[in-house]
Structure 1
């Protein structure tokens, strides 16, 4: 068994680390606190080709393997998890189009999505439907050579920049089971009736907007039906969300790594009773446990990513997302404890890490629901432990 990255992956990680250390870490805390959109960071990611990480090379993308994909989100989240969200939703939508789009849809959108000239996101969640996607209420009624779409989407990352936005809808609301009547439409942002109504205030996950979108009699050409096939939307979305769970697991590792870095650095310089606090056994125990958990989470994330490379991996990605997200929150809390009172101050990084870590157990399916996904995968024999 080889637990090492290959030479290409190590070099890629080094480039990403340099970018994060130079362009993100110095400004993240100030920009997050002031609500400043990270325009310059987005441009830097585009210049590096990161908007094309899930776009095939024939359309100008990098087409990264899943482990390299995980490295991207780990490293960027080490600097600022919210910025990773900009890239995350875009990358999932690109993969959705690359896997399931028609040749015309791929040629129309993927080349510009790969460069960042176009950006995108994914419209799934609704006010009454989050993890339970079959409960969505947004409908798309066929009217000649168009679909007429009505509904509301919530928590949409990149909502103000996405063009097109893949939107999960019900083309047959009466279908049973419900997923047989679900489809994905690629809705362009300038379509009449498509309105970003508001930005949703959040505890953390800042740097990117999370918005409510109103779809009011939006007329979408039938040619914008993903893959030119109705009733396959749920399957299309779930195939992309496997990569989404790797994305969240890797983001969690990035948060945990930064929490470790901040705690270790603080323990080396903060003094109490005439000694640096890192000399005290209570602090040493926290640092050792934190480092151990971070490394275990990283290996879990890469293991799940490699499982995706080999085929369907619901169980593996579910396990990784659960474990890594819980490590991220524990790491942030322990780093705050090492900092003592300063850990509660917005002048230090760890309070932001704590606010960002909380989302990781909720995004891409709550951890409790994912435990049922893992259990079902085990029962079917698709995931084997040991």
Structure 2
């Protein structure tokens, strides 16, 4: 089997620390959090104490200043354990990254140290009831009033929304300017007029709070603007490859894990005098999935390497996201079948993995958007030849 060459000894020592943390602080309680619909804030503080949040944030802002692979290790160990509740990826890979990349010195010093410790939880406020993948169609308004902006509107499907202390929020500062009218703001969770709606009931990811958010004349200082006025859409576009890479990392990891669970189950479970694995259908299914998961892993790791070199192409990120998430859903479906009736029981991890899997083909840009990006690039390359 192909061995992964991205990680060094320091990364693997950190992985052991993360794995122990997950086994002690998350796995025993995750089923209850699924019933509660939210992860307790205490977990965020414990993760911060262990250095598991925002690993790449420089020491001057309270972080450890480590490379991106340390964040990857945290994400992989959560997903390998089936711990879909803690929204560390949104917090670390998206919100903190936006602040690090586009924030002023004052913004970095205000928000990042508390995000590193887990005192403040981050959320990304992009999607609206009528605007999902088409971000330039958002309607949440930010209107200038002296040195402040007044924000009115609504967001939906916001992960970490019930818990968020800081929100990177996309608004329209010029409703007639299309993409050039989008502006980002950092909004604190205790601002007057900011209200959290329902904690939404979902097919899967039951322990991760996902909310409606409402803005009723929320007043924020112009100093809370992230980047320049009208630059929001362009800034969001620069981070899409990283977001899609994170989705690929998740799906590649979960696909591998599901296959391991299924191999273990089918080699022990018996029917008609032999194990489920002894049937040729089982062997063929698992052989196909193992091969596809290996290809997904090699390509995803290459994309991680390119990202760390600043060379990850948006088309490669789209291909990684498309292929791995489709495989993720396929593996969950076909492996659940091999568990038989037990696969349909919530107490079995494969059942929860099946429910959690479906969002991956939507979040971070739908599969259809990925195919459009890839096809357009193919056409452009063809026209250049």
Residue of structure 2 in register with 1:347 after alignment: 347
Give the whole-Å Cα distance in 1 for the aligned partners of 2:110 and 2:44: 22
Q: Extract unaligned runs of 5+ from structure 2.
A: none
Deviation at 1:30, TM superposition (A): 5.0
Q: Deviations over 1:190-224 (max 9, x none)?
A: 11110001111101012111000111111111111
Residue of structure 2 in register with 1:18 after alignment: 20
Give the whole-Å Cα distance in 2 for the aligned partners of 1:51 and 1:65: 13
Secondary structure, aligned partner of 2:214? strand
Deviation at 1:64, TM superposition (A): 4.4
Alpha carbons 1:52, 1:113 under 8 Å: kept: yes
Give the whole-Å Cα distance in 1 for the aligned partners of 2:323 and 2:294: 12
Alpha carbons 2:54, 2:71 under 8 Å: kept: no
Q: Extract unaligned runs of 5+ from structure 1.
A: 382-386
Deviation at 1:31, TM superposition (A): 3.8
Give the whole-Å Cα distance in 2 for the aligned partners of 1:117 and 1:158: 14
Q: Deviations over 1:1-29 (max 9, x none)?
A: 99513222333333333333444344434
Q: Deviations over 1:310-352 (max 9, x none)?
A: 2252112111111111111111112111111111112211111
Alpha carbons 2:39, 2:85 under 8 Å: kept: no
2:74 to 63, 67, 72: 72
**Is 2:113 the partner of 1:114?**
no
Normalising by structure 2, we get a TM-score of: 0.91
Give the whole-Å Cα distance in 1 for the aligned partners of 2:66 and 2:371: 28
Using a 3 Å threshold, how does the CA distance of structure 1 residues 366 and 88 change in structure 2: closer, same or farther?
same
Give the whole-Å Cα distance in 2 for the aligned partners of 1:265 and 1:341: 16
Residue of structure 1 in register with 2:208 after alignment: 208
Trace 1:226-241 onto structure 2 (pairs within 5 A). 226-227=226-227, 229-241=228-240
Deviation at 1:93, TM superposition (A): 0.7
Residue of structure 2 in register with 1:186 after alignment: 186
Alpha carbons 1:346, 1:352 under 8 Å: kept: yes
What is the total number of aligned residue pairs between the two structures? 378
Residue of structure 2 in register with 1:272 after alignment: 271
Give the whole-Å Cα distance in 1 for the aligned partners of 2:46 and 2:221: 34
Normalising by structure 1, we get a TM-score of: 0.91
Using a 3 Å threshold, how does the CA distance of structure 1 residues 26 and 289 change in structure 2: closer, same or farther?
farther
Give the whole-Å Cα distance in 2 for the aligned partners of 1:14 and 1:295: 23
Using a 3 Å threshold, how does the CA distance of structure 1 residues 45 and 131 change in structure 2: closer, same or farther?
same
**Is 2:366 the partner of 1:369?**
no
Residue of structure 2 in register with 1:157 after alignment: 159
Q: Deviations over 1:68-108 (max 9, x none)?
A: 43332222112235235343344311000000001111111
Secondary structure, aligned partner of 2:129? coil
Secondary structure, aligned partner of 2:53? helix
Trace 1:298-377 onto structure 2 (pairs within 5 A). 298-311=297-310, 312-377=312-377
2:174 to 157, 172, 175: 172
Deviation at 1:269, TM superposition (A): 1.4
Using a 3 Å threshold, how does the CA distance of structure 1 residues 49 and 375 change in structure 2: closer, same or farther?
farther
Aligned residues: CA RMSD = 2.2
Give the whole-Å Cα distance in 2 for the aligned partners of 1:320 and 1:220: 38
Q: Deviations over 1:260-285 (max 9, x none)?
A: 12211111211112222222222122
